[in-house]
Chain A
């Protein structure tokens, strides 16, 4: 297949040591998105998005609800393929390869990207099987027990569940379930972790745990996080993309990217008035 695999051979099924990709912005971007538009049937949800995602950084998407943050995120691992009416225009290049190119296998794409959803969605199976499923379907050959332990350790959940791996995942608390989903997402040794409002269903303490975890994971993974929580974006992200939604006369709402910059700039010295209004709570 034509999708590059930037993970060194040794890391394909192993979590635990640093990716060899540099962190400076001059490095080749992980994603290069150019003039992306997504349409659901006749409804254009987002239009003209251009941005890039840098390796080993946390990029946050913020903006009022309905502005298309989830829609854009789900283009990164071709999750929008599951929605029949969705169609994508423009280009998303992943390490230079057009993800929507004709010969791309979406399953291969998703094996390189872990995804964490808004509502924790563990499989109704044991804790162990939740983690082991991804590596199993990817044909993992090594020791699954070790992989499960490493993934849970990386997701800061091992200490809480080490004695009950065979118990149902649904018996865990919401925050534990979300960390389990993060462990599940990194068990396949992805290159990127995509998170869609991972803390919106969690209490503040669980949220804090996940934020710490993100900062820890950033050493090895490129992370894109959608959040409605601006403090969260300010706390964890390196760069922030601010989206908004334009309401046209006919009542059609189309999302667009307003501003994309270092998180510090967005939160202290934004270029656009609408960004500042949103950040300071005068809007949306």
Chain B
């Protein structure tokens, strides 16, 4: 268009600026996006409402604390989830103890120290692939190595089908996720910060310790804790390495014996109860799922809390 064709007369400018263009495609796109969001939320809400509704018969005469503190039983009126709750808790601690230091360490090495060679790239690509491997495959790995091969160490009296085997399996399961999220958090640290520190004569380790890690910490914490949520919900690998759902005693065995002993976990119990014929167990299953959701929520809340705390630490 010729520039001189644009009139500068006030009325003309006013008319031109108040012309409403109808952007049909734009509006359509917006409606489609909103629709996707509503469908996603709708499904989620339906699931939640359904589960809570199914669990209602249980809450009539029992509370969350009662369910958690009562031991597993074949009699629905007396059944609780104690061994499964306790098992899941120890499994999470075990998983974190293995996957966090190993995963964070590996990521720091890959991002901050390793040279960008073919080998490094192949390793990186494979870690990504490992994160996508179905969890049942990790279960098979755990069965072959921790249960069969190392059973004498992991659980001598239970043929290796112990909480140690379960924890190691889950630890390895989330290891790639921990490495990837940590690496991403490290990559997000601007290189100008590294240059600033190196420039005043800091060693690579001083640069990482004082500048890179504090800035990456919120991301590392969120990522790693959310990966725990993933481990918490896994049933398949635990079924393979020997998670059980019949009554067993957690008794007053020592710590090592507990770790080397048989175990249960909440997702395994869900799997087992959901297949029982009694209507009472259907309601109990729903109640168990509600408790799992609460635990997951707590895990996520912890992640958010830690992120906020560390973010404050960085900017002030």
Contacts and interface: CB of A to CB of B under 8 A. Distances in A.
Contacts of B70: none
Given A119-B192, A137-B206, A124 B314 contact: yes
Q: Identify whether the interface residues of B are mostly helix, strand, loop, or mixed.
A: helix
B116 interface: yes
A134 B201 CA distance: 7
Interface string B299-316: 000000000000000111
Contact of B196 (A117, A126, A168): A117
Interface residues of B, number: 22
Interface in B191-231: 192-203, 206, 210-211, 215
A119 B316 CA distance: 21
A215 interface: no
B315 to A, nearest CB: 6
Contacts, number: 70
A184 B315 contact: no
Contacts of B192: 117, 119, 121
Interface in A144-194: 168, 170, 181, 184-185, 187-188
Nearest to B215: A124
A125 B214 CA distance: 10
Interface in B103-151: 115-116
A23 B196 CA distance: 29
Nearest to B196: A121
B112 to A, nearest CB: 11
A82 interface: yes
B199 A110 contact: yes
Interface string B68-101: 0000000000000000000000000000000000
Interface of A: 77, 79, 82, 84, 107-108, 110-111, 114-115, 117, 119, 121-126, 133-134, 137-138, 168, 170, 181, 184-185, 187-188
18 contacts: A77-B199, A79-B195, A82-B194, A110-B200, A111-B201, A114-B200, A115-B200, A117-B199, A121-B190, A121-B195, A121-B196, A123-B193, A124-B193, A124-B314, A133-B200, A134-B201, A184-B200, A187-B200
Given A123-B211, A138-B201, 18 more contacts: A82-B194, A82-B195, A107-B202, A110-B201, A111-B200, A114-B200, A115-B199, A117-B195, A117-B196, A121-B193, A124-B193, A124-B215, A134-B202, A137-B202, A137-B203, A168-B316, A184-B196, A185-B199
